[in-house]
Each structure stands twice: as C-alpha cells, then as structure tokens.
Structure 1
Amino acid sequence: MASHDDGDGCPVLDEYLIRAGCAFGGEDGCIAEARQHALAFLDQAEADYPLSVPARTRDLTQLVVSELVTNACKYAPGPVLVELRISTHVVDVVVWDSDPAVPAARAADPDRIGQHGLEIVKAVTEGLFIEQEPVGKRITARLALPGTPSRATAARSPR
C-alpha cells in the first residue's frame, strides 16, 4: 500500500476510492449539516464501490465529524472545511479551521461538564493527526474499516 505524507503527519493513501470536501460557514446548523454530508459520502462510497461500511463505522464517522466541527465552530472564526476520504481500509475525516492553536485532550475528569470532544475522538479513532497551516490548522482523524487490524489488535499480536 503506497502512501505519502500530505503534511499533517497522517500518511495519505494513494488508493483512496473517493474523496469529497465541503465548506461550512461556522453557524449553528453547520454541525448537523456536516454529519449529513458524512452520511451521504458513505452512502455514495457504498453505491459506487464494492465496499460495505458497517453501522458502527457510520456512527463513529458522524461522531468524529460532529466533535471536530463543533470544536472548529466554537473556537475558530470563519469557515470550516471538511474533507472525507475512504479506501478499502480506512475512513479519514479531515477538518480545517482558521485558529492556529493546536488542541489538546484534557486529563480525564469525571466532574468536568463538557470539553470531552477531543478525548472522545482520540478514543474511537486509529489515529489523530494535527498540523498547523499558514492560516489555521488541519486535523485528520482516521477510522479503520472492519477487516483492518486496529491499533489494539496490532498491539496484542505477536511479532
């Protein structure tokens, strides 16, 4: 599987089946719109390619889109760009916003209300890559499709 680094630290697969991008204005309704865009993207991928995206992966993709777009709308002025990419092995969710500050997951705190989004994204993805851009930042979250060894499985496998 050939790959190259497009700058965000996340290897970009040469064999993406389909990619789609969309810009959102950062207003309240854009989060739901971004989730709908993600579902339409996954539907299109299944319709156009011999690919099955299980309900769990669809749900996790929507969750990741929702959390990343929510953070972008909350902390960065201006538009939010979302790109979705899929191969036979992974779904990548890429979100760009205009704030150059690199987010960090906070330490677990069961008494804290809110601000758990990045913790959630890190917990459900195979990788989370953040790159500062000349303007803003780009965050790539990678979700494994079934049949692809997950980080947990790979960590348990004997070498």
Structure 2
Amino acid sequence: MELPPATPHDARPPEVRVDFDGASGCIAEARDVAGLFLRDHAPHAGGTFPDDVLLVVSELVTNAVRHAPGPLTLTVCLLPGGIGITVRDTGPGRPYTRTPDRTGGRGWPIVQSLARRVHVVPEHGGKTVQAELDW
C-alpha cells in the first residue's frame, strides 16, 4: 500500500487523508494507513503510542462503518506533542457510552481513555469525530 503524499512540511504539519467507501474491509486498511503514516512521520514516538493510535483509528472507523451509512474520511496528522485522528462520516448520531455486551459497547470508552481530547462536531449530512493522543 502506498500513502497519498503528505502535506509539505513548510505549509503545516504532515497529514494523510483517505476516503473510504464505508465497507467493513476499510477498517484494516485505515489501520494500515495510520501505521504507515506513523512509520514515516513519527518514528521517534515509542512505547505503546503507535498501538494506541492504531486502536483509536480502529475504534473510530468501526463506529463509522457500523453506525453511518456510506463513505467516510480518515485524517491522521502530527500535532505538537502528539497525533490527531479525525473521522468524518455521514451518520447523524453521536458516539456515546453504552453497557458493553457481546456485540460491542467497548470502543467509545477505549477512545476516551486513550485520547487527551475527544471532540464530536455535528455537521450537515453527518459528523466529524476528532481525537488527540499524546506521544
């Protein structure tokens, strides 16, 4: 897999943005995109950080696939002292914490526990979910 070119370093921090059709197979592809971005742009980030980023990407994209019909966009970018993950989808609902059961309910608490900041922006025709993680 080859990533689209990142933004120039002199314009703003590097980011990658990928559109997906919303099919369940895009979850693994989204993880791959984030992993390649981390390898190329944040090799100094060690410890469990890369695993945490991939887990948050998986959870946010999974939520979009399960609860929003249609396409979604994943953006991963460098932030001062961390990384930003944004998922834009066409679903009208907001993520919320529910009682975990055999079919789910664990993802949103995981995202909230790993991120220093989580923000949901309702938009016409969908929403954007943003998460920021520290190095």
Report what 1:27 is aligned to: 23
**Whole-Å Cα distance in 2 between the matches of residues 141 and 40 of structure 1?**
18
Task: Give aligned pairs, total.
Answer: 124
Query: 1:27 deviation in Å?
Result: 1.2
Q: Which whole-Å deviations, capped at 9, do the CAs of 1:70-110 have from their partners, x for residues lacking one?
A: 01001111111000111341101000100121121125x5x
Structure 2: 5+ residue runs without aligned partners? 1-10
CA deviation map 1:10-32 (0-9, x unaligned): xxxxx952111001111121000
Select the residue among 81, 90, 101 that pairs with 1:89: 81
- Runs (4+) of structure 1 moved beyond 3 Å? none
Residue equivalent to 1:70: 62
Corresponding residue for residue 105 of structure 2: 115
- CA distances 1:97-127 after superposition (whole Å, capped 9, x unpaired): 00121121125x5xx3322110111011111
CA contact (8 A) 1:16 1:87 kept: no
- What's the Cα RMSD here? 1.6
In structure 2, which of residues 115, 119, 123 is the aligned counterpart of residue 133 of structure 1? 123
Give the TM-score, by structure 2 length.
0.85
Give the partner amino acid of 1:27. Answer: A
1 CA distance for matches of 2:107 and 2:92?
18
Does 2:7 match 1:17?
Answer: no
Q: Take 1:22 and 1:67, find their aligned partners in 2: how far apart are those partners?
A: 16
Query: What letter matches 1:45 in structure 2?
Result: H
Question: Where does structure 1 lack aligned partners over 5 or more consecutive residues?
Answer: 1-14, 146-159
Q: CA deviation at 1:55?
A: 4.2
Indicate which of 144, 147, 158 corresponds to 2:134: 144
